[in-house]
Copies of this chain bind each other. A is one copy, B any other.
């Protein structure tokens, strides 16, 4: 039995997985280290999409359809902003704006991102510990034939239609892990790489030197869950991004990106046939249902992942 679990997380896929995990493992023994490379400034507000979706999901207030924002939200603020000809492609709801306004006000008062994240988490009675990967600014940049794009410009505004030539994590090499991140990695006994985009979500986290250092020091078992099922990303641009970067669009392609990092890997039963190929990379494999289309499925995946991790050397 593990004493604690630390997850490296991006957005929706990670949020759903952790939601299930917190049903089968004590919530206050789970720590989530969240990507902030997608963070953006919108009308002077600091928006942290991955932190928010993880927090909202665990608080039970996430919009179940959209994959971001708060359920039953309205868009009256944004509609009024449209009347002022402001850019409104980043669809922030009225309740969601509260989070960004509060975060921005606290940051302006000299608090750092991890302190604000903690304040929001406790206000929403979330028991899982949520840590931004860093309190410094790291910006994921997408190089395309149209030039280098900000992440959200590529992702939301242009609907990830551009061919991706390169992805960089501006600021990562100088960034330091947020308080609590290094101990959460070094002192836990299970680390899970959530079913998130390895390039856009887990990539920025691992691009921070202090986090890579902790990952190399830790004696925890490290397990990943594939975000690719049957040759396709469960959500988002991962499949076409991997293809345009010349990577194999399969759980095996993802496993190669994490080479040397993890010991065990959870893939979907749809990808059973390529399990031997992944095993040849030196990884132990669990083949199971990884689609989290119900709370039951989330719980089952969490349970299976923990049981699998227990069998690892």
Contact = CB atoms under 8 A, between A and B. Distances in A.
Interface of A: 43-45, 70, 73-74, 76-81, 83-86, 93-99, 101-102, 104-105, 108, 119-120, 123-124
Given A74-B94, A94-B76, A98-B77, A83 B44 contact: no
Contact of A74 (B43, B45, B76): B76
A99 B120 CA distance: 25
A100 to B, nearest CB: 10
A101 to B, nearest CB: 5
Contact of A44 (B79, B97, B101): B101
Contact of A102 (B81, B95, B99): B81
A96 B98 CA distance: 13
19 contacts: A43-B104, A43-B105, A44-B104, A73-B76, A74-B74, A74-B76, A76-B76, A76-B94, A77-B77, A77-B94, A77-B95, A77-B98, A79-B95, A80-B94, A81-B98, A83-B123, A84-B120, A84-B123, A86-B105
A69 B135 CA distance: 36
B76 A102 contact: no
Contacts of A73: 76
How many copies of this chain sit in the oligomeric assembly? 2
Given A79-B95, A84-B99, A97-B97, 13 more contacts: A43-B102, A44-B108, A74-B74, A76-B94, A76-B95, A80-B97, A80-B98, A81-B101, A83-B123, A84-B102, A84-B123, A94-B97, A97-B101
B124 A102 contact: no
Nearest to A76: B94
A83 to B, nearest CB: 6
A270 to B, nearest CB: 39
Contacts of A70: 80
A262 to B, nearest CB: 37
Given A94-B77, A95-B79, A102 B86 contact: yes
A84 B99 CA distance: 8
B120 A95 contact: no
